[in-house]
Structure formats: C-alpha cells, structure tokens
Structure 1
Amino acid sequence: MNIKISSKPSVINEVHWENGLSYNEYRQLIDSLLKINQTTGSNDSEKQLVYTRLNVQRMNKWDKITKLNQELIQVVEKIDTPQKWLMLTEAWCGDAAQNLPAIQKIADLNDKIEVRYLLRDENLDIMDAYLTDGGRSIPKLIILDDEYNEFANWGPRPAPAQNILKDYKSNDDITYDEFSVNLHTWYAKDKGKTLQSEFTVLLAGLS
C-alpha cells in the first residue's frame, strides 16, 4: 500500500493550510478555468484541457455513485482527535480525479476532519518533501494534527494502480495510451474498493 504512518514535524505550516481550497472551491476553480480554456498549472495545451474536461466528468460520476463500506465508516466515525488533511493535486491529473471524490466523502463522515486542497505546482516546497520514487506524483494526502505535525500520508494512487504504472515504466512495449486505458479501466472496475481498504488500514492505524 502507498501508506506511511508516522509522527513527526512536517514542512507544512499555517500559511499553506490557509491558502488551501475546500473541495467545492477546488471544483469551482476548475470549472472557472475551463470556461476560459485554461487549466491549473502553467500548461494550457489542448491535451491538458482534454484531460481536465475528462476529469470533471470522472469527478462528477464518483461524486454521485461512490458508496463507502461499513467497516470504513465505523473506523472514521471513531476518530476523536482533530485531523487536517492536506491534498496536493492538479485539475489535469487523472489519478486525482479518480480518487478525490471518495477521499472527500470519507472525510465528510467526521467533523473532526478538515480537508484543504493545494495545487502541486504552486507548492513544490511541500511536493518535494513527498516524492514517490523520486517523482512529483499526485494526488498526495498528508494527514496532520492541529500543530501541523504529520500523522501519516497516502498516495499517489492505490497499490494495484501503482503497479500498473510500474509495469508501464518497465515495459517498452506498452504505449502511454495503452497504459492510460489499463489504469482507468482498473479504476472503473475497482469502484473505489481498494482505496477504501487502504484508508481503513491507514485510519485504524492512527487510532
């Protein structure tokens, strides 16, 4: 699993947190940028815009159909100390679109959990403290206490999805388009079950 449970100071501070967006604000930002043919980050190419529009459709779908399992619900409802969840993301990121709606639904189960969304490319000081195999992979969730000490982090994707990426990187015969189809087909079939299992383990480990 792409989970690390710890208890240590983080590079994140109150300024970062206050600059973060709520989920609704993040979604509204994406919609407002698309209206002027822009996306988050510095690359507004047609390819990035296509990815972003597709991601809006993905998030809309998961917002509507994601159902959390009872085991996870029970674990989240037992959380009795405040947690700050800081998510690094970008609108064009397919993995973010596949995972963020479910993660927000998990957080919404308990009012002791607050979530803020930060754009990766505007917060490289945080991103570079949470690299995956040396890369700036997103989404990346950092769970903090009220003093901005790190409880745990998760990301950038569930373990089976990460394995699909590793297979692509190690096999020259797999094209990027084939990798993308394989990845998003896995998400469609899994329906968030693996993500929920990973978060059950993660959050139970913090109690």
Structure 2
Amino acid sequence: MNWHEYLQQFEEILSHNINTAPYNDPHFYEYTKLNQSRMNRWLKTAPLQTPLIEALQAIELPQHWILITEPWCGDAAHLNPFIYKMSEVNELIHLHIQLRDSGSEIDHYLTNGGKAIPKLIIRNESGEDLLVWGPRPAAAQAYFYELRESKLTTEEQKTALQQWYNQDKGQSIQQEFIQFFSDFPIDMHAVANQKQL
C-alpha cells in the first residue's frame, strides 16, 4: 500500500470498519488512536534537516523503499512520518508500505530473532538491498535495552520511550540517514555494500 492508503487504514480501524485481531482488543484500538495523533503532530510540525534534503535530492537512480509497520506500533508513530517526508523529497524514491502481520517480508529482516518494527528496507532498481534500518534510531534502541533491564513496569517503560521521542523530535533518525547517504554513493548496486543501521 502507499502512504495515503496507510493513513486510511487508521481511519478504517478507528471507524470500526476493521475489527479483526488485534483491533478487536480495546487496548490496540486505543494505541492506534493515540498513534494517529502522534503521526499527525509530526507530519505538521517536524521539518527535515537541510543536509538530509540535499542528500535526498542528490539521488539520481530509482530507489524502492519498503516500510514494514503496523498502526498499533508506538515507535512507528514517531518514525514513519519522517520516512514518508524523506520519500517525498525525490520522485525517484518509491515508498511501499507492508503491514507486518499481513504477508510482509519481516521474517527476512528480524531483529534479534523478533519481528520488531518499523523496519525500512531501501533497494536499488535491481531489487538489491542497500540499507536495512530499524526498528529505532541507535540511541533509542540503546535506551530501550536500558529500560528493559530496569525495574520499571512495562507501561512505565513505554511512557519513558515515548518521552524520549518527544524530546528527540526526529533528530536522531535524520542524522542516521544523513550519515548513510554520506557514506555510500547513491547509485550503488552491489549487495556486498549493503549496510545495516
């Protein structure tokens, strides 16, 4: 699906037009409602950094971006808007969204054996992976592991991570992609040069 179809997915869930698992669980319904609000905030208020825009504008060959995600995912609500904004900078970037639990490619891109999302795969026009990114910026992932080892409850851990995203304001994800595009030529094709962030 494309980005606008993904946004429509939220509307379908919140209008109860989709009430299959997990959205028949009130908790997942509320997660989705909250995530829609988070995404809308970032879409309206968070600009891309100039160096990132320039790097994206320099892309000269088609790239296929596959974003694996789900509306209920709290991390995705803070990160997907920036991925979408990046994809809009250059018409050579084609963004396609896969829902993790609906026949996605996530089994090929596990994180420590788990289906953590969001996960972004950038491919060249030959279908070779240039970058596999996710499920979080490195700083957020380190904080996630720190929280997991703490004595905080699961809900307290979730709240702390959401606060991290609010304070970061999308700066970390942008810096990681600035670094990626500065490290590699945009027209790379060799799978041997694939980089995992």
Report the CA distance between 1:159 and its aligned residue: 1.1
SS in 2 for 1:43: coil
Name the amino acid aligned to 2:157: F
Report the CA distance between 1:165 and its aligned residue: 1.5
Tell whether the 8 Å contact from 2:13 to 2:29 is kept in structure 1 after alignment.
no
Tell whether the 8 Å contact from 1:86 to 1:143 is kept in structure 2 after alignment.
yes
Cα distance in 1 for partners of 2:62, 2:183 equals 15
Cα distance in 2 for partners of 1:81, 1:93 equals 31
Give 1:162's aligned residue.
Answer: 141
Tell whether the 8 Å contact from 2:67 to 2:98 is kept in structure 1 after alignment.
yes
Q: 162, 174, 184: which is aligned to 2:152? A: 174
Deviations 1:107-152 (A, max 9, x none): 111111010101001125x111111111100000000112211111
Deviations 1:84-125 (A, max 9, x none): 00000000001111101111111111111010101001125x
Give 1:131's aligned residue.
Answer: 110
- The answer to whether structure 1 residue 198 and structure 2 residue 184 are counterparts is no
Tell whether the 8 Å contact from 2:148 to 2:157 is kept in structure 1 after alignment.
no
Cα distance in 2 for partners of 1:85, 1:206 equals 16
For residues 17-166 of structure 1, the aligned pairs below 5 Å read 21-36=1-16, 38=18, 42-44=21-23, 45-124=25-104, 126-166=105-145
Comparing 140-149 and 44-53, the one that deviates more: 140-149
Report the CA distance between 1:206 and its aligned residue: 3.4
Report the CA distance between 1:30 and its aligned residue: 1.5
TM-score norm. by structure 2 comes to 0.89
Tell whether the 8 Å contact from 1:164 to 1:182 is kept in structure 2 after alignment.
no
Report the CA distance between 1:205 and its aligned residue: 2.9
Report the CA distance between 1:201 and its aligned residue: 1.3
Cα distance in 2 for partners of 1:205, 1:101 equals 24
Cα distance in 2 for partners of 1:23, 1:159 equals 25
Task: Give the 4+ runs in structure 1 shifted more than 4 A.
Answer: none
Cα distance in 2 for partners of 1:69, 1:38 equals 36
Report the CA distance between 1:169 and its aligned residue: 2.4
Tell whether the 8 Å contact from 2:29 to 2:72 is kept in structure 1 after alignment.
yes
SS in 2 for 1:143: strand
Aligned Cα RMSD in Å?
1.4
Tell whether the 8 Å contact from 1:164 to 1:179 is kept in structure 2 after alignment.
no
SS in 2 for 1:144: strand
Tell whether the 8 Å contact from 1:22 to 1:115 is kept in structure 2 after alignment.
yes
- Which has the bigger relative contact order, CA under 8 A and spacing at least 6? 1
Cα distance in 1 for partners of 2:51, 2:139 equals 21
